[in-house]
């Protein structure tokens, strides 16, 4: 057995500093008290108690004790407790971890500046309880322990947040929770206050667990950072064991493993780590076998064995029994003609189920695939009962839906439950990994039904709720064109659709939205109106309104040019620019009589005319072509004719 101890296992800087401080005060020969257990390790606390150190849990209790030295533990305390302790007359020695003190200072400064403090951590942990006590500002604080807490966070949108973390919190989970909070649109300031030693310890544990057959995690049962190490190791190595001392170590459980890793929490003394290592390394495999009771094997038992030999069509295992176990190809995999030499190697540890205690040739007949099927069916059943979200790879696209693999088990997702919209081509999902929930579980009939649609609907509802809480009338927003109709364009705003009506696309006329947009286009608009869950959009930004400078461009007397946009019996409307149409009355087209505009004008024809009237408030402009031509000398000619007649 190869045993590997993580480099950073054991006391961290802050814990060692706190423990050393207590032992130093003991040497001074005075009464020594710690405000709460100095660290989360029963062995250390018990040893200090044997040396006369008393654990005090309240100010009232301390008031009844003789004068002495009170040591503030590594987790720290609130500002109020620190102030009250100082007033009791005892000698105060602050052994708070410097990383925790740094959080206290940041929380006090930022809360005083009006920021709402978000503490990511365990609300019942003494470190978090202490941090809360340094939040002195009027904006208050919130403790976030889970994704559910983060999603439920409901503060005014304009709230300024300062986010800190318990020093021993899981860094990956911290990032996930911060990301959830960020999406709510708050003005946030994030301080990664997770101790670097904690990050390094968690990373080492992760790497060691990935390459180990078994992991031993040593630490106090109340230790938060040890608990996080156990979670990390358990995710990467199924055979992970949480112990406090060597007495909790069951050597029989680890006797068959080749590579065993050891890590320990920040509150675990090195001597306990050494004791565990010594116990594991001193006893030989032969000694463990001698201690082992004679085992019996019955049909249906689950056994664990080490691979001794791999053939093309069978695997031989040492299962600690008088006979070896054998798994045939058909009992190992459903893949026809599979070469087991490519799937298993000598030294692998495999769990299997006993089919026959004696297969007729003196060996134990085992099955690997049936045990695996039972386990995955159990996993799927639990997922069905708990509405757990599963993830699997699409193995086949069928006529009626998708076949998804979960550890060799097949889940069918009907086409109607693949998406919340009709999917014309399911082929795009081939080979993709998708998430779903199980809505029907009946393994006897081989009927396991999955549903992806409800996850999509739930996600969209959450996004819609988040969007509706954030948007307001007048806000500029960007979205993606989702659908185009004759009357407008529907734009995906990231949670809900907004309608950009044809009349709001431009200050000018739009005849066909399809000439301006195509599906997938990014469009910037502003919210014109919100009615319930209906959002009306507009691209007619006020700063682009062509009427803003119309009084200068189209002042009375100005000569302008435009195109005939449309005609009626009483006149023609001339488009001077997009958004500004002027009326050319039929009486102003020519000095000669014009019966109707269509007799002399055509749609799209460019004309030049004089502005004869401008009403900016009512957005009306009147033009005249006639006003540009000189009047005919009719009166003078008629006078001359009259005189000639009289003569």
Q: Which residues are catalytic?
A: 127
The two structure tokens encoding residue 602 = 């055509």
Q: What does the H/E/C string look like for 28-96?
A: CCCCEEEECCCCCCHHHHHHHHHCCCEEECCHHHHHCCCCCEEEECCCCCCHHHHHHHHCCCCEEEECC
Note whether 545 and 616 are within 8 A (CB): no
Query: Taking Cα atoms as reference points, which of 260, 238, 235 lies closest to residue 351?
Result: 238
Chain-centroid distance of CA 285 in Å reads 47
Rounded-to-integer distance, Cα 171 and Cα 56, Å: 32
Q: How many residues does the chain have?
A: 647
How many CA atoms lie less than 13 Å away from 577 in the CB half-sphere? 10
Q: Kindly state the DSSP code that residue 160 receives in the 8-state scheme.
A: E
* Cβ–Cβ under 8 Å, residues 279 and 248: no
| Torsion sign across C-alpha atoms 165, 166, 168, 173 | negative
300: left (phi over 0), alpha (psi -120 to 50) or beta: left
Element (H, E) at 176: helix 171-182
If DSSP codes are grouped into helix, strand and coil, which group holds residue 116?
strand
> What burial class does residue 91 get, using C-beta atoms within 10 Å of its C-beta: 0-12 exposed, 13-18 middle, 19+ buried?
middle
285 backbone dihedrals φ, ψ, rounded to 5°:
-60, -40
Residues near 81 by beta carbon (within 8 Å), at least 6 away in sequence: 35, 59, 130, 133
Q: Determine the Cα angle at 509 with ends 508 and 510, to 5°.
A: 120
CB of 208 within 8 A of CB of 6?
Answer: yes
Taking the CA atoms of 503, 504, 507 and 510 in sequence, report the sign of the dihedral they define.
Answer: negative
The rounded distance, in Å, linking the Cα atoms of 340 and 66 is: 74
């Amino acid at each position: 057995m190869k045993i590997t101890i993580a480099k950073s296992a054991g006391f961290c800087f802050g814990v060692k500093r706190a423990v050393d401080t207590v032992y130093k005060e003991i040497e001074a020969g005075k009464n020594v008290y710690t405000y709460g257990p100095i660290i989360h390790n029963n062995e250390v606390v018990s040893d200090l108690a044997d040396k006369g150190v008393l654990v005090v849990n309240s100010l009232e209790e301390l008031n009844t004790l003789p004068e002495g030295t009170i040591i503030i533990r590594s987790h720290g305390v609130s500002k109020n407790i620190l102030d009250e302790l100082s007033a009791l007359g005892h000698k105060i020695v602050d052994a708070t971890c410097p990383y925790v003190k740094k959080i206290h200072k940041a929380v006090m400064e930022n809360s005083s500046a009006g920021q709402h403090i978000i503490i990511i951590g365990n609300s019942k942990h003494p470190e978090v309880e202490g941090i809360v006590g340094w939040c002195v500002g009027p904006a208050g604080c919130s403790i976030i322990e889970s994704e559910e807490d983060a999603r439920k966070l409901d503060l005014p949108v304009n709230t300024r947040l300062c986010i800190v973390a318990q020093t021993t919190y899981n860094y990956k989970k911290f990032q996930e929770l911060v990301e959830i909070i960020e999406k709510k649109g708050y003005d946030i300031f994030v301080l990664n206050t997770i101790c670097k030693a904690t990050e390094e310890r968690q990373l080492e544990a992760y790497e060691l667990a990935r390459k180990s057959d078994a992991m031993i995690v040593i630490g106090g049962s109340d230790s938060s950072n040890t608990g996080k190490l156990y979670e990390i190791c358990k995710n990467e190595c199924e055979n992970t064991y949480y112990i406090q001392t060597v007495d909790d170590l069951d050597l029989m459980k680890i006797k068959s493993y080749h590579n065993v890793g050891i890590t320990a929490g920040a509150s675990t003394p090195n001597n306990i780590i050494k004791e565990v290592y010594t116990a594991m390394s001193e006893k030989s495999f032969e000694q463990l076998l001698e201690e082992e009771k004679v085992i019996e094997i019955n049909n249906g038992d689950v056994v664990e064995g080490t691979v001794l030999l791999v053939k093309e069509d069978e695997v031989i295992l040492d299962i600690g029994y008088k006979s070896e176990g054998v798994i045939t190809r058909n009992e190992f995999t459903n893949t026809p003609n599979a070469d087991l030499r490519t799937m298993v190697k000598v030294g692998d540890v495999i769990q299997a189920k006993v089919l026959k205690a004696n297969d007729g040739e003196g060996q134990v007949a085992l099955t690997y695939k049936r045990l695996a099927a039972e386990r995955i069916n159990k996993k799927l059943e639990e997922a069905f009962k708990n509405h757990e979200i599963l993830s699997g790879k699409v193995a086949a696209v069928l006529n009626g839906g998708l076949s998804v693999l979960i550890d060799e088990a097949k889940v069918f997702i009907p086409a109607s439950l693949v998406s919340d919209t009709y999917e014309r081509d399911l082929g795009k999902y081939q080979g993709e990994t998708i998430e779903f929930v199980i809505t029907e579980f009946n393994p006897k009939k081989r009927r396991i039904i999955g549903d992806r649609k409800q996850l999509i609907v739930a996600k969209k509802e959450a996004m819609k709720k988040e969007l509706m809480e954030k948007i307001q009338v007048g806000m500029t927003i960007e979205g993606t064109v989702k659908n185009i109709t004759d009357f407008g364009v529907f734009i995906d705003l990231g949670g809900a659709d907004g309608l950009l009506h044809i009349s709001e696309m431009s200050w000018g006329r739009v005849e066909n939205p399809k000439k301006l947009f195509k599906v997938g286009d990014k469009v910037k608009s502003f919210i014109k109106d919100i009615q319930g869950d209906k959002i009306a959009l507009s691209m007619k930004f006020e700063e682009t309104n062509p009427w803003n400078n119309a009084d200068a461009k189209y002042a009375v007397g100005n000569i302008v040019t435009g195109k005939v946009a449309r005609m009626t019996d009483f006149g023609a409307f001339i488009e001077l620019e997009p958004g500004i149409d002027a009326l050319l009355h039929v009486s102003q087209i020519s000095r000669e009589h014009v019966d109707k505009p269509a007799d002399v004008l055509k749609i799209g024809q460019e004309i030049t005319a004089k502005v004869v009237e401008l009403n900016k408030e009512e957005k009306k402009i009147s033009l005249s072509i006639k006003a540009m031509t000189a009047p005919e000398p009719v009166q003078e000619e008629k006078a001359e004719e009259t005189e000639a007649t009289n003569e």
